[in-house]
Amino acid sequence: MVATFTGKVVLVTGGGSGIGRASALAFAREGAKVVVADVAVEAGVDTVSKIEATYGEAIFVKTDVSKAAEVKKLIKKTVDTYGAIDCAFNNAGIKGVSSSTAACTEENWDRVLNINLKGVWLCMKYQIPYMREQGGGAIVNMSAAAGLSNCLERFPAYTASKNAVIGLTKTAALEYAKAGIRINALCPGYIYTPMVESEIHQNHQNSDLKDLMANKVPMGRWGTPEEIAEIALFLCSDTASYVNGHAMVVDGGLVA
Ligand code: NAD
């Protein structure tokens, strides 16, 4: 089903872990030259080593997606190295600290919004001009099922950021459709990644939280990073040539 990415240049932010790493590996498997961006150096370098050891070509660029100067440099480095930027998976994100809306600190609010929302905007801000110049491209922005109807209690900043990513994605999709740039959002449900694992391990009062959450999903299980990676590939591929401005849910039936 998934089209080949041979000859394509693909950028994945948050590519050092979880969904981002699985996606970077999958794009490379399909022939893409992959730019792995992450704030975590060791993790990002490790993803590149895994790509080089198994499939192909990749570079790592240390980037904090909430910083305009770093994102600008990342996109320039991508184009300088590989001559183009065909697809971007703006995936980097954090959950932030768990607290009620009234208890959420300004620091937590700003950090989550800066990475999850401003980070996605900054990535598009610097990706789009190159894509326009080269005559098109495909962008996938990471939202979440929590960006739709499955809002998360005790994560107000996260939920707000993921809702906002969908609005931002649709606005940009309208603006650049005629420039040949497709822009979609991806909304995973419960995906078992290092982000989730550390949250579950911190929650000592509820050691079977993992099973409790799995039981909330109609399919009765967590999704895997690889299952989300395949959908990121689909949305970036020519197979999805008429999919634009869409928020695609991949959640085992959670939102339904
Ligand atoms: P993860 O923690 O395994 O990976 C996130 C990666 O983003 C890490 O490598 C981290 O270093 C990087 N990152 C964090 N802040 C960054 C910054 N400022 N600049 C650049 N990189 C940064 O998490 P994951 O579960 O793979 O999540 C990836 C994305 O998927 C996030 O946006 C998350 O909100 C979203 N998501 C995850 C789930 C889930 O259940 N795991 C569900 C819905 C959406």
Atom of ligand 1 nearest to the CA of 20: 26
Residue nearest to atom 19 of ligand 1 (CA): 64
In the numeric block, the tokens 């005790």 are attached to 154
> What does the alpha-carbon distance between residue 15 and residue 41 come to, in Å, rounded to a whole number?
10
Q: What is the largest CA-CA distance in the chain?
A: 54
Q: What is the pLDDT of residue 204?
A: 59
The percent of residues above 90 in pLDDT, for the chain, comes to 91
Ligand 1 pocket, mutate which of 113, 195, 231 (most atoms under 8 A from CB): 195
Q: How far is the CA of 178 from the centre of ligand 1 (A)?
A: 31
The answer on pLDDT for 211 being more than 70 is yes
CA distances from 120 to 32, 112, 135, 226, 240 (A): 22, 12, 21, 22, 21
Let me know: does 79 contact 49? Beta carbons within 8 Å.
Answer: no
178: CB partners within 8 A, 6+ apart: none
pLDDT score, position 205: 62
- Across the range 165-177, mean pLDDT stands at 98
For the cut 90, the answer to whether the pLDDT of residue 208 exceeds it is no
Say whether pLDDT at 27 is over 80.
Answer: yes
Whether 1 shows a pLDDT value over 70: the answer reads no
70 lines ligand 1 (CB under 6 A): no
Q: Is the pLDDT at 236 greater than 80, yes or no?
A: yes
Give the pTM. Answer: 0.98
Q: For position 151, what pLDDT does the model report?
A: 85
Query: Given pLDDT bands bounded at 50, 70 and 90, which one contains residue 201?
Result: confident
Output the CA 137–ligand 1 centroid distance in Å. 23
Ligand 1, atom 24: closest residue by C-alpha? 18
Q: Which residue lies with its CA nearest to atom 12 of ligand 1?
A: 14
Which pLDDT score is estimated for 24?
98
Domains delineated in the chain: 9-188+224-249 (3.40.50.720), 194-222 (no CATH)
Average pLDDT on 93-113 reads 97
Q: What angle do CA 16, 118, 71 make, to 5 degrees?
A: 55
